[in-house]
Amino acid sequence: MVVRGIAVLVALVVAVACGSQASPQPAPDPAVVQTSTGPVRGTVADDHRLFAGIPYAAPPVGALRWQGPRPAPKWDGVRDATAYGPRCMQDLDGDLELGRQTDEDCLNLNVWTPPVAGDRPEPKPVMVWIHGGSFVAGSSGVYDSRRLVARGDIIVVTVNYRLGALGFLAHPALGPPGAVGNYGLADQQAALRWVRDNIANFGGDPARVTVAGESAGAMSVCDHLVAPGSDGLFDAAIVMSGLCQSQADLPTAEKRSLDYAAQAGCGGPVPAECLRGLDANALRTPVWYYDIGDDRLSGPVTGSAVLPTAPPVAFGDGKAARVPVLMGTTRDEWTLFVALQHLRDGKDYAPQEYPRLLADTFGADAPAVEAHYPLTAFSSVALAYAATVTDGVFACAGRRWAGDLAETAPVYFYEFDDRDAPAPDPLRTVPFPVGASHSLELRYLFDTGGAPPPSPAQVRLGEQMIDYWASFVKTGDPGFPGIDSGVMSLQPDGSRMIEDFDRVHQCVFWDGLG
């Protein structure tokens, strides 16, 4: 900027000396932005700009498979950034994004900005969005952020990161002791560093960065709140329906990774070389670390160099990042997963399966849970089981973590409670109501498509949620009271603070289980 100022001054002096006027400088092209690795050309619309598919790290292929992310190589010329980059490798069985390319070279991100206004616009605060999908599926490209950036007047960055076995395999032969697994989490940290180093060129403020995510993305945010390598990379956090307690411990992850390698034909004397020599398509099947009933997760590993301590433990010990946190759940989280089970099998759970589901999920506490949630109190096994997981695994656990975090920083807790939220077509065919299920709040913030249009009241709720989220990204305060004053219930007939969250979700019972 100093060099440019001197050049303009010299031009003016020469013009005056020659008795002529200086030529006006052409306005910069809003579609072209310089990054640390080269310029990119995006798309400019009336209400937003989009720069898509920007590499933030080197392709993690060949010898870089199961290595930490390396810097992206520079390019010559202006790179096209008008189309999303490839999704990371994932199992295509039941794929919801058919037709979208998957590739091992997938470490790219998308930058959504408001339209450029004025010669020196004020830098915008930034939300870095980490997608969900149980750490085995999903991508950054389904989160159309134009409403968030236009109404919220913020910048949104959506990120791809390595998934499944390529992102989280913790085979001990892949690196030094304790340094295996968590490659996908390290990718997210690399993306946050890219934002720190580049976002100013897009009109963003690197001193106001909020890391945010839903489901597995929210669990990732919990991890970043306690991971040493994430310290200082963000200034606030948003945790939407996060299973902050669902990481694998390193011994479990290593054992399951050894089994995975053996099944892939790499159980011999040089497993790392064998694994890195496999075609990427042979690694689409995830390595599973964590079970919840009939559903499973891959993902981060605790007791490792990247994530030494499990987030709930660090929260309780006051060792999380001291930044404002916006945290919440949906009213009927687990109905999504029992609905998906029904769609897979074509039938509901039978009554005799209820004890098994509870035992698989709650272990030795299953008999107490069954006594507290008897089948006679519900219209189906699916809804009974969904209530136990919604209350015990999401709602009351989240409320407890919010209380722990509030000991050292401001925390705001919400519950999305639109039980008529628009749901994708398949979910409307199951024989029980899914209500305000897991992930259904996302379309109130992003244009995700795939569901009936919202009602006028739901449109207003979406606008209110965008205002809350954007206010939090800008100031660290969403505009409603903190956790000590209750829970913000987000409803289309009028959002309001409630004080009966613990009663509705039976939190005294769940907290008593320890």
Catalytic residues, by residue number, are 215, 333, 438
Q: At what angle do helices 183-198 and 216-226 cross, to 10 degrees?
A: 80
Q: CA 15 → CA 11, 12, 292, 343, distances in Å? A: 6, 5, 74, 75
268 and 215 Cβ atoms separated by less than 8 Å: no
Which among 25, 19, 29, 20 is positioned nearest to 7, based on CA atoms? 25
Between CA 425 and CA 110 the distance in angstroms is 28
Paired residues of 295 in beta bridges: 292
Q: Hey, what's the torsion of the CAs at 251, 252, 254, 258, to 10 degrees? A: 130
218-257 burial, b for 16+ CB within 10 Å, e for fewer? bbbbbbbbbbebbeebbbbbbbbbbbbbbbbebebbbebb
Beta strands in 77-122 (DSSP E): 79-80, 87-88, 102-103, 108-113
Between CA 366 and CA 512 the distance in angstroms is 14
| Token code pair at residue 500 | 């009966």
Q: How far is CA 222 from the centre of its chain?
A: 10
Between CA 124 and CA 112 the distance in angstroms is 11
Between CA 418 and CA 455 the distance in angstroms is 11
Supply φ then ψ for residue 230, to 5 degrees: -95, -10
Between CA 395 and CA 329 the distance in angstroms is 6
